[in-house]
Amino acid sequence: MACQVSAAQMMAGSALRRLMAEYKQLTLNPPEGIIAGPVNEENFFEWEALITGPEGTCFEGGIFPAKLVFPPDYPLSPPKMQFICEMFHPNIYADGRVCISILHAPGDDPMGYESSAERWSPVQSVEKILLSVVSMLAEPNDESGANVDAAKMWREDREQFNKIAERLVRKTLGLPPPE
Amino acid sequence: MALTVDKLTNDERFSGDNVLQFLLYLPLGLMLMCIRIVLALVLWIASIIMHDKPGARHVLSTLACWTFGVYVKVKGVRDQRCSILVSNYVSCMDSLAATHKLGSISLRKWKVPPFFASALGIKSASQFVRKQHFSETPSKPVLLQPEGGPTNSKGLLKFTDWPFPIGNKVQPVAISVERPFTNVTVHRALDKTAVFPWRDALWFLMTPCSVYTIHLLPSLERNDDAFVDNIRTAIAEALKIETTEYTWQQLCARRGRVTRVTSRPPPEAARVKEVLPAVPLRDIIRELEKTRSVDVTITNFLEGLVPYTPEPEPVVEPQPSTSQAPPKYITPAPTGVFPKSAKERQMSFQERKAQMIAEARNRYIEKHGLNIAMNC
């Protein structure tokens, strides 16, 4: 029993070190339009990230806050990511959870729908997740419908989708919705 | 007495009483082998003729049992509600014994001719799709042997080799094997899991008979995290052996054979590599030899105390981007410093967040010509 506890602690220890290394990297050398770090360093396993809506897309200009929760065995298992602002996107659930392949461990998908190359593995990183999320905002994948309504609107009524996106962008910046 | 890794496999193929007996038996054995090879040919022809005929499976597995001199005794009752059987691993013919009596299939990484695979009741692990299997042949249980490789049944290895997540109900099976009259090891520790152990099979052809005992244990249901341990304990108790902390990889590594096949790094190095994927493995191993500690090694690399050339990381493109020019983003002003104290770091992070939002806001107002900038 004691052995198990120490194994778990050791695991959390290496998770902490790795997270600290990534935090340092992200602070000193941030990718464009992204910042991320622990909300409160007393709990290094919960991070907040701000993601800028990619230019030339309907989410342009918005600053979207998201929460990342890391498991104790990170980086063996992927973190969970959830937007904490209102979102309307084919690959984001109504509660803000993000559905992209990099956040799934290779064993998670019994259907073999996602190729394991783009899945989570310890060589991935917070930075790569966040960059994937930026690409996801720019180019939704309407085949995996985390939000079916959004996927349908993205396909069939792009104008309406863009309107909703603009409202969300303004909301993240604390600006009133367009008239 | 502590069970060490090297006691879990037999080095000597023939550990009989004396060599003379073996030599006396040899002509008989070779004759037996010739007859069995003829039987194997019959099996081959039969499998071509009877391909996919109802009832063929039993005939073929019986023929295969004769060929390899496999005799199977079954104890216990098969629980029809369980489609997954989990057992220990004793030889390359486990799957044959099980398919003969239980109609199960086993997943293997071996590449063998299809007729041979169907006679032995094995399926290629890489081609196995769980859903497809159970929708096409729901009555065929799958036998899993998660030890990963055969042992001499003096101890049960750690379970590692799970081809898919097992359900909530499995039936544990304890397999034991003995060879009357002769004392020949039924398996050899393999260094290649992807190759059928032909040498083991030849010994099967030479020995008069191998008696398998398949002991079906009461099925187990998942009710806590210790499910896998419970299965392991049940099998070990039925075999009256102990569970060990060794894995199949360790067993192979101890025999000094596995390095050339998988070149698996030592577990400590693997742990450092998980945390620092960019550091080359040979640097990690060198540093570990010096420090003898995973944590110290990680710290030394992180703090830059030990120089290394970063490995190019496998490129994982998030998504193929189309012909568009790369999108531009608002860059938060990089501070260029990473404060030492947690408090300062947190402050800096908060500041940068606020700054990023404020900048984005101003930019948006400017771009869209809004006249609410004065309000704040």
Q: Which tokens is B240 given?
A: 């009256």
**E-only strand ranges, chain B:** 70-75, 84-87, 105-108, 122-124, 142-144, 155-156, 169-178, 210-216, 220-221, 242-243
Q: How far is B273 from chain A (nearest CA, A)?
A: 9
Q: Examine the residue annotation and report whether A85 is marked as an active-site residue of this protein.
A: no
Would you give per-residue pLDDT tens digits along chain B (376 residues)? 456 666 676 666 666 566 777 788 888 888 988 998 898 888 888 888 876 666 777 788 888 888 888 889 888 888 888 888 889 888 888 888 888 888 888 888 777 777 777 778 887 777 777 777 777 777 788 888 888 788 877 888 888 766 666 777 888 999 988 877 666 666 665 555 667 777 778 888 888 888 899 999 888 888 777 788 888 888 888 888 888 887 777 777 666 543 343 445 677 888 888 777 778 888 888 888 888 788 888 878 877 777 777 766 544 444 433 333 344 455 555 666 788 888 888 888 998 899 889 888 888 888 887 766 444 4
- Per the prediction, chain A carries an average pLDDT of 85
Q: Which tokens is A153 given?
A: 């609107």
Stated as kind and residue range, the H or E segment containing B217 is none
Distance CA A1, CA A7 (A): 10
3-state SS, residue A12: helix
Distance CA B209, CA B163 (A): 31
The pLDDT of residue A66 is: 95
- Shortest CA distance from A20: residue in chain B: B302
ipTM over 0.90: no
Site of tokens 């038996």: B25
Query: Which residues of chain A lie closer than 8 angstroms to B342, CB-CB?
Result: 41
B324/A110 touch (CB, cutoff 8 Å), yes or no:
no
Distance CA A174, CA A170 (A): 6
Distance CA B313, CA A76 (A): 17
| Residue of B165, B298, B318 with shortest CB distance to A14 | B298
Chosen from A25, A52, A104 to mutate, greatest number of chain B CBs within 10 A: A52
Q: How far is A61 from chain B (nearest CA, A)?
A: 6
Higher pLDDT, B314 or A148: A148
Residue of B150, B260, B130, B133 whose CA lies nearest to B199: B150
Query: Given the DSSP bridges, would you call strands B210-216 and B169-178 parallel, antiparallel or unpaired?
Result: antiparallel
3-state SS, residue A17: helix
Distance CA A94, CA A98 (A): 10
Residue of B328, B351, B367 whose CA lies nearest to A175: B367
| Residue of A34, A112, A173 with shortest CB distance to B361 | A173
The pLDDT of residue B260 is: 40
3-state SS, residue B193: coil
| Residue of B273, B275, B357 with shortest CB distance to A173 | B357
The pLDDT of residue A81 is: 94
Which range, A44-48, A72-76, B365-369, is most confident? A44-48
The pLDDT of residue B95 is: 86
Distance CA B330, CA B358 (A): 11
Q: Which tokens is B300 given?
A: 């030394």
Lowest mean pLDDT across A117-131, A161-175, B28-42, B134-148: B134-148
Stated as kind and residue range, the H or E segment containing B130 is helix B130-136
pLDDT average, residue stretch A64-80 = 92
Compute CA distances B71 → B152, B180, B210, B276, whole Å.
18, 11, 6, 52
Site of tokens 């704040």: B376
| Span B180-232, pLDDT tens digits | 766 666 666 555 566 777 777 888 888 888 889 999 988 888 877 778 888 88
